[in-house]
Amino acid sequence: MRDFRHLHSGKVRDLYESPDGLLLMVASDRISAYDVVLPTPIPDKGRVLTQLSLWWFERLADLVPNHVVSATDVPPEFAGRAIRCRRLEMVPVECVVRGYLTGSGLAEYATSGAVCGIRLPPGLVEGSRLEMPIFTPTTKAPIGQHDAPMTFDDVVDAVGWDTADELRTISIQVYHRGAELAARRGIIIADTKLEVGWAPDGTLVLADEVLTPDSSRFWPADTYEPGRRPQSFDKQYVRDWAARTGWDRTGPPPEIPDAVVEATRARYTEAYERLTGAPFASGRPAPATG
Ligand code: Q0Z
């Protein structure tokens, strides 16, 4: 670990550089709600998200190359929740794909009838399934600011037509593959956000994390009903709890009680287990028995 130089930290992840030029992306157990990191970690969240991301990278590798170099050759204190990856030149666009209408996409549709310049039919409601998934890119805003919607022409202005078209194609393909696989396990992937970078030879490479509950909205299919706010496999549970505490979202956030921590952890591991079909093994030593 002493060989790793800290590059920067997001709300829930940290990025380091090693002397060989590779990056080390480390997922923590931190959880954020309403853009604030809560004081209580969710045990195993970093491992669940890292392992899920790796599982998807494998299943997407024929569509798009990815930045993963090794998930095992990592400092022992980060075992299971770190990925050594090649350093890319990041594309300055967040590649969002929506198969269902919710969140900021729904808000934009409600005011303009369109999302990122894509006109949608009238009458859509919270959670409506879109006829075709749509590419709804956003700007990459610095921490503390909000990403702004971009039209396809905005993306063309930022990276040129060829790259813009390739980003859109990759994004829609990744969404299609992810949504189809998840559907077979009873999970709706409502939307997802991808980060892409250029390799030195100019090819586009999938980076960061992919198709995790932190980068996507996962809904259980069995309770899905358009018009109703969906249940979800992510921090929505913690958000709802935080809202009920009366926290005003600006002051210091509340400690999460044990029962809420456990229920949140269970949602993350359930998403992992349903998608991969494998039990989640935390990778931590089992408590001694005797
Ligand atoms: C990812 C991020 C994190 C904070 C930069 N392969 C790559 N090459 C170049 N840059 C990145 C990557 Cl993944 C890169 N981020 C997002 C990750 C902590 C911010 F772990 N920023």
For the stretch 93-135, pLDDT in tens is 999 999 999 999 999 999 999 999 999 999 999 999 999 999 9
Per-residue confidence (pLDDT) for residue 283, from 0 to 100? 67
Which bin fits 17, alpha (ψ -120 to 50), beta or left (φ > 0)? beta
Q: How far is the CA of 117 from the centre of ligand 1 (A)?
A: 28
Nearest of 177, 248, 226 to residue 206 by alpha carbon:
177
Q: Ligand 1 in contact with 68 (CB < 6 A)?
A: no
Q: Ligand 1 in contact with 8 (CB < 6 A)?
A: yes
Q: Ligand 1 in contact with 37 (CB < 6 A)?
A: no
> Residue 132: in which H helix or E strand, if any?
strand 129-135
Q: How far is the CA of 140 from the centre of ligand 1 (A)?
A: 12
Q: Ligand 1 in contact with 96 (CB < 6 A)?
A: no
Q: Are 238 and 255 contacting, i.e. CB atoms less than 8 angstroms apart?
A: no
The whole-model pTM stands at 0.95
Ligand 1, atom 5, lies closest to the CA of: 90
Q: How far is the CA of 23 from the centre of ligand 1 (A)?
A: 8
What token pair was written down for 67? Answer: 């930045």
Which bin fits 277, alpha (ψ -120 to 50), beta or left (φ > 0)? left
The atom of ligand 1 lying closest to the CA of 89 is 9
- Angle at Cα 218 formed by Cα 115 and Cα 171, nearest 5°? 50
The atom of ligand 1 lying closest to the CA of 8 is 4
To test the pocket of ligand 1, the residue of 7, 11, 14, 15 to mutate (highest count of ligand atoms within 8 Å of its CB) is 15
Q: Are 165 and 155 contacting, i.e. CB atoms less than 8 angstroms apart?
A: no
Rounded to an integer, the average pLDDT of 138-160 is 92
- Report whether pLDDT(71) > 90: yes
Q: How far is the CA of 107 from the centre of ligand 1 (A)?
A: 29
Compute the radius of gyration of the chain from its Cα atoms.
19
- Report whether pLDDT(143) > 80: no
Rounded to an integer, the average pLDDT of 191-201 is 98
Long-range (24+ apart) CB contacts under 8 A made by 176-185 are: 176/133, 177/59, 177/60, 177/63, 178/56, 178/60, 178/210, 178/211, 178/216, 179/99, 179/133, 181/59, 181/275, 182/211, 182/218, 182/275, 183/221, 185/274, 185/275, 185/277
- Strands 114-115 and 118-119, how do they pair? antiparallel
